Structure 1
Amino acid sequence: MTGVDQVDTGAAPELTVIVVSYNTRALTLACLDTLFANTHRTQMRVVVLDNASADGSAEAVRARFPQVECIASAENLGFARANNQVAAAAQTPWLLLLNPDTETHPDAIDNLLAFAKAHPRAGIVGGRTVFPDGSLNPASCWRRIGVWSLLTQITGLSRRFPNSGLFNYEGIGGWRRDSVREVDIVVGCFLMISTALWRRLGGFDLRYFMYGEDADLCLRARALG
């Protein structure tokens, strides 16, 4: 399988992958390369919405990945509005929000979708993220902010003891993200959600142009149980 091919079984796609790009041409191409090369069991509809990039992102995506639906916005819609626009037209039962600077590992999408199907009450699921050198990137998920976590941040305890579950409470310190557990917030760089739940929540709150919208979405989902 090459970076631009995906096995076509004739089955209807069950997952819409949404990539919102902004002046990330090379990163977006690498993201799509790994997405197609490392996804084997999932029929996907892949949509890139480019937020008025000046680096030829949209043109490069269209030239290299003709199977990708590429939307070139005339203005920068921001992360929340761009995702909402694509998700509104989705006809698949599942959505995946994927950052353009994210390269997926073999079977990552397949495994995440299988997990989401097996645990429908989870509503929103995410996966372990790592830096280019393979070291853990713990920012894939968080606990909700509270009085204690604010106190440990203000006093610097969370930075001094990043691996402490007590002092780095919001960052879930000490957890390697290599087991299954409930979290309050799944970060939007790699976030899978059922389309039905997304629509029940009304998607992202457009008061957030960029950053914070994923936390708000997850906390609203938790409020629904």
Structure 2
Amino acid sequence: MNEKIEDLTIAIVSYNSYSTIVDCMDAFIKERPSQFLIVDNNSPDNSSEKLRARYPGVKVITSPNNIGYGRAANLAAKHTTTRYLFLVNPDLKLTKEATITLLEGMLNTTPRPSIMAPAVRPEDHLNRGIENRRWLIGAALLMDLDALESVGLFDEKIFLFSEETDLCYRATKHGHRLALDTDIYIQHLLGQSSTPDPKVDELKNWHFAWSHMYFYQKHGLAEGKKNPHRIKALYFIKWITATSPEKRLRYKSRLKGTSAYLRGQKAFNENDTPYWP
């Protein structure tokens, strides 16, 4: 096989993620630093500087502001010289062995998937080999950039959430194969991509709701249970009946995000900074 791990770039989008990256994939990065590329979304905790100091062989790109996951992933792709891009969350327990096995699986599968993922949830670790999927979890996506050139990568109108849903939807509509390797499990430490912050949690929940509304409307799916007004009413009920401060904040923020979308609010301001609720 001519195409080996050298034909792969591993990209990480970071936001206050220095400690998480060190905890999850330090050994792998130090072993193969030239294959890693990190886009840091202007982290206020100086993650960019700390990452450069710890990994001098890794290309670290610092965005001028927090441009969101999709735009940062697209920026990583623009700086990628290999055909294959493995986009991973900072809170994955990534190993070289799992990465090589995933790449070999993609290259040896016919027809070759344009996007393939490992299992990042225990319930997906089925040990049934490579299976077709219509949607893949965005925490770890191995992408054939040549194959996806006609489709494009992530929609840059989205700041956060639903980016991979939109990409998978477009790819399958264009006839691309998506696959999950159920034999490979990479542990995903959910919620640890960045340092906890109530304001960031509010931002995430606002954009969670906004992005779902945008996706449904974009693809003509905003009907029935996906009707924005119906979802808005549901978030209102969940907000006023929530039994904990965390849930009240979550559903209040999602209610605001849905309402803002219906008013025509965009995910980004005119100066390309994300909308903060």
Q: TM-score, normalised by structure 2?
A: 0.56
Of residues 25, 47, 54, the one that matches 2:18 is 25
Per the TM alignment, residue 217 of structure 1 is displaced from its structure 2 partner at its CA by 0.8
Q: Which consecutive residues of structure 2, in runs of 5 or more, have no partner in the other structure?
A: 176-277
- 1:64 matched to 2:54: yes
Residue in structure 2 matching 1:127, options 109, 118, 143: 118
- Evaluate the alpha carbon distance shift between residue 196 and residue 107 of structure 1 in structure 2; reply closer, same or farther with a 3 A threshold: same
Residue matched to 1:156 = none
Quote the residue 2:161 is aligned against: 211
Q: Which has the larger radius of gyration?
A: 2
Deviations along 1:183-209, one digit per CA (max 9) or x if unpaired, are: 111122110010112322211011221
**Structure 1 residue corresponding to 2:100, chosen from 106, 110, 116:** 110
Q: Which is richer in helix?
A: 2
Query: Number of aligned pairs?
Result: 170
In 1: Cα distance, 2:59 partner to 2:164 partner: 24
Q: Quote the offset at 1:38 in angstroms.
A: 8.2
* CA spacing shift, 1:204–1:102, aligned 2, 3 Å: same
CA contact (8 A) 1:38 1:105 kept: no
TM alignment of 1:79-158, pairs within 5 A: 79-105=69-95, 107-119=97-109, 120-130=111-121, 136=122, 138=123
Is the contact made by 1:35 and 1:103 (CA closer than 8 Å) also made in structure 2? no
Q: Does 1:221 align with 2:171?
A: yes
Corresponding residue for 1:77? 67
For the 8 Å contact 1:18–1:95, the answer to whether it is kept is yes
Change (3 A) 1:44 1:111: farther
Counting aligned pairs with the same residue, the percent is 31
Which residue of 113, 130, 133 corresponds with 1:183?
133
Counterpart-to-counterpart distance in 2, 1:186 and 1:44: 27
- Superposed, 1:10-21 pairs within 5 Å as 13-21=6-14
RMSD: 2.3
Q: CA shift at 1:58, angstroms?
A: 0.9
Does the aligned pair in 1 maintain the 2:24–2:91 contact within 8 Å? yes
Normalised by the length of structure 1, the TM-score is: 0.69
- Are 1:35 and 2:19 matched, yes or no? no
Deviation readout 1:147-199 (Å, 9 max, x if unpaired) = xxxxxxxxxxxxxxxxxxxxxxxxxxxx5433221111112211001011232
Q: Which consecutive residues of structure 1, in runs of 5 or more, have no partner in the other structure? A: 1-10, 131-135, 139-174
Distance 1:38 1:67, change over 3 A: closer
CA distance in 2, matches of 1:12, 1:114: 9
